[in-house]
Amino acid sequence: MHQMIRKVFLIASITAVSAMNLFPAFAEGAAGQAVTAVEAVSEEQPKDEHSKVSFSDQSNPAPVSPSDSGYVDAGPGIEKKEPEPEKPKEISLGIFKITGYCNCEQCSGGHNLTYSGTVPAPNHTVSADLSRYPLGTKLKVNGTVYTVEDKGSSVNGNILDIFYSTHEEAVAKGTYNAEVFLVQE
């Protein structure tokens, strides 16, 4: 009985020792593999960094050209400022007395054409003081841009006579005061 117990203990102790020997071996092996893995990685990493550096060195000139094209794209922002002066500038001429007329005998004395020889048109033709606003001058009244094409004996200074297609409309629009803008194109 005692020998049997000793044998079992021996076997158990041997197994334990062999297990103790095996585990460190596993641990060393694992450590060794880990080290070699780390070494392998650490050996590859410098290569990657080298290749990355070389790639970044090669790609460095590339980002410069996109940024250059970015500057080119920013160019139209400056060009956008150029069309702005092309837009009509409106300069206030102050408050005018606005009257209306048509091409009837009473309004125009039977003249079918304007002083400038054009056929008068509503929302277009205006009579003005030509000494101030020569023929062709663009004048804006209440959102409508008129062209100075006519003159009148009573149209002097800050007075504009707007052409209407009918005498009734000219009378209906009446006489009123409005701010007039000089439209420069």
**Token pair of 23 as six digits:** 């585990």
Q: What is the C-alpha separation between 58 and 60, in angstroms, rounded? A: 5
The site for Zn ion (CB under 5 A) is made up of 102, 104, 107, 167
Which residues lie below 8 Å from residue 132, measured CB to CB, with a gap of 6+? 157
Give the residue among 158, 155, 117 at the shortest CA–CA distance from 136. Answer: 117
CB 125 within 8 A of CB 102: no
Q: How far is the CB of 168 from Zn ion (least distance, A)?
A: 9
Closer Cβ to Zn ion, 108 or 147, answer by number: 108
Q: How far is the CB of 147 from Zn ion (least distance, A)?
A: 20
Closer Cβ to Zn ion, 107 or 148, answer by number: 107
Give the residue among 115, 92, 95, 93 at the shortest CA–CA distance from 103. Answer: 115
Closer Cβ to Zn ion, 170 or 180, answer by number: 170
Q: How far is the CB of 108 from Zn ion (least distance, A)?
A: 7
Q: What is the C-alpha separation between 161 and 148, in angstroms, rounded? A: 10
Closer Cβ to Zn ion, 42 or 106, answer by number: 106
Tell me which residue has its CB nearest to Zn ion: 107
Q: How far is the CB of 80 from Zn ion (least distance, A)?
A: 47
Residue 50 main-chain phi, psi, to 5 deg? -60, -50
Closer Cβ to Zn ion, 155 or 181, answer by number: 155
Q: How far is the CB of 179 from Zn ion (least distance, A)?
A: 25
